[in-house]
Amino acid sequence: MKHNNYMYLSFFLLLIFPLQVQATEVKPILIETYEADITSDGNNEKIELKGVLFSPDSKFYQQLWAEISYQKKEKWKIYYPGGYDPTLQFIDLNHDNKTDIFYQSATGGSGGLYNYQLNTIINDTVQEIELPEQMYLSGVFKDNFKIELKLTATSKPIIIDVKNRTEDYVRLGIYDQQGELLSKNKTVMIDPIAFFEPLIVNETKGYGLKSYQQISGAYHADRLGTVETVWYFENDNWIILQTKWVPA
């Protein structure tokens, strides 16, 4: 009799459990509908940005994608990394006279980082264009409470005076009281690019991207400044048009 009771209980739980899962299921949401001519056929395609929230009371999308309709039929689907406040922009960034799809969303972290993705339609297929990265950016601590920063492989080093942080750096064992460097080859903290901003380079060249990348000293909150770089896509590569250092 006891064995039968267990069977009845198990059967009852199996009936109830799927109903509970279904009641709390988070369904896809239509975030935004766009219209843009991404095929250069002279007609706008409908692009629907959709996502699935982490939970019903969350603002974080754990899944994100775009559904693109061509001639009133679903043609392409592009998947994106999750994030907050996702948006799409439609800009010709690779200068092939076709409108590209530029995605961004906030990661929600303390560093103010964003997720990005750039896609284009080539030969009836969706292709991703890799976004630029700073390959040569470097920074090291030097004697006498100085930091040497290089923005490119050939640029003149930028010297940053950090005497106003003496107490902190001595406490951390980076310098002694006289400013002699105790931690040899100590490097600064270089964040990945936090934010991309499309901008018009000029009327002839069209659009490029401006990136913002934070540099910190001994720890992340020890902010030194930001590297701002203007990028342009040319011959299948991102080239740097301008890089400047903006102190905190």
pLDDT of residue 193: 95
What is the tens place of the pLDDT at every residue in 42-57? 999 999 999 999 999 9
Residue 184 pLDDT more than 90? no
pLDDT of residue 73: 79
Q: What is the pTM of this model?
A: 0.84
Q: What is the 3-state secondary structure of the chain?
A: CHHHHHHHHHHHHHHHHHHHHHHHCCCCEEEEEEEECCCCCCCCEEEEEEEEECCCCCCCEEEEEEEEEECCEEEEEEEECCEEEEEEEEECCCCCCCCEEEEEEECCCCCCCEEEEEEEEECCEEEECCCCCCCCCEEEEECCCEEEEECCCCCCCEEEECHHHHHHHHHCCCECCCCCECCCCCECEECCCCEEEEEEEECCCEEEEEEEEEEECCCCCCEEEEEEEEEEEECCEEEEEEEEEEEC
Question: Could you tell me the pLDDT band of residue 2, with boundaries at 50, 70 and 90?
Answer: very low
What is the tens place of the pLDDT at every residue in 25-43? 678 999 999 999 999 999 9
pLDDT of residue 20: 46
What is the tens place of the pLDDT at every residue in 114-123? 999 999 999 8
What is the tens place of the pLDDT at every residue in 214-232? 999 999 999 999 999 999 9
Domains and CATH numbers, the chain: 29-128 (2.40.128), 138-247 (no CATH)
What is the tens place of the pLDDT at every residue in 229-243? 999 999 999 999 999
Question: Could you tell me the pLDDT band of residue 112, with boundaries at 50, 70 and 90?
Answer: confident
pLDDT of residue 154: 86
